[in-house]
Amino acid sequence: MSSEHLAELAHDNVEDCVQECPCVSDRQKPAIRRLLALWLSTFFACLDGIVRWLGPIFVVIVWVLISGIVLSWYSILAPYLRVTHSAPFMILQILFAHWLLINIIYHYFKVTTTRPGAPPSLPAEDVQRAVAMGYRYCKKCSLVKPHRCHHCQVCKGCVLNMDHHCPWINNCVGHHNHRHFFLFMAYIWLGCLYVVCVSWTPFWEVRTSAVGFEAVAVHVNDRVQLAFCFVLTAAVLFALGILLFWHVYLVSTGQTTIEFYNNMTLKAEARDRKERWVNPYNFGAARNWRTFLGLVDGRTFARNILLPSAHPPVGDGLTWRTNHHEEASV
């Protein structure tokens, strides 16, 4: 969720609290509201600045951690597998590990270097027409915001089909890099699962050997490095797994992180009216995934997902077809 939406929620909660507070007179409420609004805007502005400043550092940390795990595989796990398994099995391990590594590096590079997309600048008469048609206008960017577009306070710009701003990639997740973000998470999660499975046996041997570490030193060269490898990948496996399967749910239901929270409000309002609200961008899980992964025009899962692919997303991020067969365009 973007800091802009967090600020909006915080402001709404402040309004409710001030309005319902019995110890504040009606004359004092406007001044208190202004003071709290100023404090909140200052707080979130500082928070956005901190996130913007830490972004490049987080990217370096990710590359360092990936490099550390790769080094551990070459220096500890590969020699262990070579001693304890047959040559054909070792070849399969090498191929599988390097397939994961190539995809991890490729998608992380792409998600950090690909801009998520921004709405175009329109002539004044087109802006007026779009606003009259009900489109939102961003006063900070002086741009008309297409459907599913939101302003990012960290990036200081509007983002097409914005999901959220991620400090770990120092970038917004939006229309043009959302697939790379998801596939990076998926491949890094699979990579962590693989390393945990492979390192479990030597890690347990080191911990439980009756004669100490020296008994398994022929297979494992560095106890600290092995512990680092196992504990780090196990922790990432758990934490990233929660985020990954959260995004599996979002893609399956045709919504972004921001839209999920907005849709909850719309559902509640429709329920109060005794109506049923339907997400207009949900076309069913199968079609949602084909669209999200860009599997159109002859693209296949084997060639364009299991292997690195730079194919563009479906659509331009400006025009969206709904499940009511209505197309909204600027």
- Which residues does 256 contact at the CB level (< 8 Å), separation at least 6? 148, 161, 162, 163, 164, 250
> What is the reported pLDDT for 10?
46
Low-confidence ranges of the chain (pLDDT < 70): 1-45, 206-221, 325-330
3-state secondary structure 143-190: EEECCCCEEECCCCEEECCCCEEECCCCEEECCCCHHHHHHHHHHHHH
> What is the reported pLDDT for 208?
62
> What is the reported pLDDT for 225?
80
pTM for this prediction: 0.84
Based on the residue annotation, tell me whether 166 is a catalytic residue of this protein. Answer: yes
Candidate list 149, 155, 158, 166, residue with the active-site label = 166
> What is the reported pLDDT for 203?
79
* SS3 state at 4: helix
> What is the reported pLDDT for 327?
45
- φ/ψ of 46, rounded to 5, equals -65, -40
